[in-house]
Chain A
Amino acid sequence: MTPSTGYLLYLLFAMGGAGLYLLLPQPGKSRALPGVALSVLALAGLLSVLAVKVIAPSDTSAYFCLFSAIAIFGASRVITHRKPVYSALYFVLVVISVAALLVLQRAEFLAVALIIVYAGAIIVTYLFVIMLAQQSHETVYDTRAREPFFAVLVGFVLMAAITGKAVEPATTSEAKIVTAQFAQQNLAGAIEGLPEGNTADVAAALLTKYIVVLEIAGVLLLVSMVGAVALSRKKIPVEGHGLPTRPLGQIGKEVEPF
């Protein structure tokens, strides 16, 4: 990994960030075309740099590029699309392509759990709410992004930092190990050694090594569930203590006798 690769990556991230900034919904005339061009260029550049420099060539790297491109495309559409229903659906696309990436890493259990939990339950609930709440015309908060510049800046600086750190030549011994592991993770080498089915391994790790974390997560979920129940049980005061305002027996409009 040469420093020039790192700078190339930073440049690509800056390009991507600029493209996304142009794509974010803002009032005024549309700047979609340059945004799309910049983003596509950045994405293609990123993937080719990764493919050439970082990922060791193997029979699955094409799939990796494909699904990660879909995931990044979907993620950018989640925040740039003006209709919330479409945003939620692009979120589903992201989840599915990330699940596919997990399958490539032989983490089938995680992949399916991701689909069941996110795509099958959580995003459906989002859609449910959006469908119930959405007005027929586009609302203001859907057509303009809040703080688009800073959001894009922070997001892409973080991404650049992480990626740059991951691909930069290791200096300390600890970082060397991390980098070495990362290099091994490049899809071909380490995975071949994994057993065919690893659900039992996941379960064993969860219930032995990470038992405390698991319990804490469970307690957190319980707390949030209790909170949700408490919130939804809040009584909304109705005039006359829940009784119908008109006397029982007068239903609907009052009609004169004919």
Chain B
Amino acid sequence: MTEFLTSQFGVSIILAGVVFGILQGAVAYCIYFERKIAAWIQDRCGPNRVGPAGLLQPLADGGKMILKEDVIPGHVDKNLFVLAPAIMFIVAFVGFAAIPWGGQLELGGKLVSIQVASPDIGLLYILGVASMGIYGVVLGGWSSNNKYSLFGAIRATAQMLSYEIPMGLCILVIVLTVGAIRLEDIVLPQTAYWSDVIPKWNVFLHPLAFIVLFVTMLAEANRTPFDLAEAEQELVGGFHTEYSALKFGMFFLAEYASMITSSALLAVLFLGGWHLPWIPWAQPEATGIAAVIVKMLVMGGKIAGSLFVMMWLRWTLPRFRFDQLMRLAWGGLIPFTLGLFVLTVGLLYFDKHQSPLWTLGGNAVVLVLTLAVAGLSRRDVTGRPASLPSLEGRSLTHGRLAGDVS
């Protein structure tokens, strides 16, 4: 029995249970903090009635979700209607398996990874699982047999397909820089230091890729400013209009779970995973149980920071219009990340891909080039078709009627 418990398989199974349990709670409290942060930003208090400071609110919400009547409308495609939230939920939680939570633990003289599974293709596994999340949205929207749901689903599909491309390119930039796609192998090089001071986190090499990856993750998780799929003003509730009770709750939890997955991926790729400079427990050499706990806390802190920025953005920004959203992906982010990709390949050829001077300079060059191209091709905000007659003589520019002389 002890042998089983100290083997990698045993640790993986225990960790899977622990991570799943913690994440359920974390997701519930994400919703609590989302409401709190929204309240603070809007000069309010947020939930504060259930328990001290409202801390038991998630339990109350969960109880409500479970006890409510679970309506399956008569006009829906029943099989897919039930399947859709399940797909969402499973996909959102399966992705956690490949995240390295806390380096390695020494157990009975052997080193075991604090990771549920360590597939050789860890990064691709997470991408593949995440790409399956579209099915939940699509099926939920289609099976609802409701035109608003269908619109929401179609928007979500187009959006997720489009933003997967710049997301993949950003990840490729890091894969090329580090030269690995196993997630621990991406963390380990980041634990070294430049001149013993600055940790070699990838964010210092490719800050622009970091920002773009964050943006695409917002889009993949259907978060503001990219939450076109559930634009309340236009689409009632989007793809989950017809859902109620626990099925709606599963959609809700899945959204936050996928936010946590993408935040964890962001931390691993750019922020050094569980590594924190100058803390002896958060170094790869430390393998004791205390070190593992500290590392998990560091990882959790990085995830929480990313989640906070996501929530902060949600309560700051209005929603994109759909054509702006598509133009941002296809006209903005994809060429830009392609530029970064070409830059990284070029630096790799000259073996300068680990030198911050070269990568930062290259980033600046790509940014300036993009801005120059954008500045040269100034366009209307709405892109009024050129085939329409000109507005010359009867247009209102900045509040004044140009042709109105009376």
Contact = CB atoms under 8 A, between A and B. Distances in A.
Do A and B have CB atoms closer than 8 angstroms in the complex?
Answer: yes
Interface residues of A, number: 26
Contacts of A109: 120-121, 124
Contacts of B255: none
Contacts of B227: none
B182 A131 contact: no
A176 to B, nearest CB: 33
A78 to B, nearest CB: 16
A125 interface: yes
Nearest to A123: B135
A243 interface: yes
B120 A248 contact: no
11 contacts: A108-B120, A109-B124, A112-B127, A113-B124, A115-B128, A120-B131, A131-B153, A131-B154, A132-B154, A199-B181, A243-B389
B257 to A, nearest CB: 18
A112 B125 contact: yes
A25 B80 CA distance: 21
A5 to B, nearest CB: 37
A196 interface: yes
Given A108-B120, A199-B120, A242 B131 contact: no
Interface string A228-258: 0000000000000111000010000000000
A131 to B, nearest CB: 5
Given A120-B164, A131-B153, 14 more contacts: A85-B142, A108-B119, A115-B128, A119-B131, A120-B131, A120-B132, A121-B161, A121-B164, A124-B134, A124-B135, A125-B161, A132-B154, A199-B181, A243-B389
Interface string B371-388: 000000000000001011
B24 interface: no
B30 interface: no
Interface of B: 77, 80, 119-121, 124-125, 127-128, 131-132, 134-135, 138-139, 142, 150, 153-154, 157-158, 161, 164, 181-182, 385, 387-389
A197 interface: yes
Contacts of B385: 242
Among B120, B153, B385, B387, the one with the most A-chain Cβ atoms within 10 Å of its Cβ is B120
Given A85-B80, A121-B164, A124-B135, A241 B181 contact: no
Nearest to A128: B157
A92 interface: yes
Contacts of A199: 120-121, 181
Interface string A163-179: 00000000000000000
A125 B150 CA distance: 15
Nearest to A242: B387
Contacts of B124: 109, 112-113, 116
A127 B131 contact: no
Given A120-B164, A121-B131, A127-B138, A197 B153 contact: no
Interface in A76-132: 85, 89, 92, 108-109, 112-113, 115-116, 119-121, 124-125, 127-128, 131-132
A124 B128 contact: no
A224 interface: no
A198 interface: yes
A57 to B, nearest CB: 22
Contact of B127 (A89, A116, A242, A248): A116
Nearest to B139: A89
Given A112-B121, A113-B124, A199-B121, A120 B80 contact: no
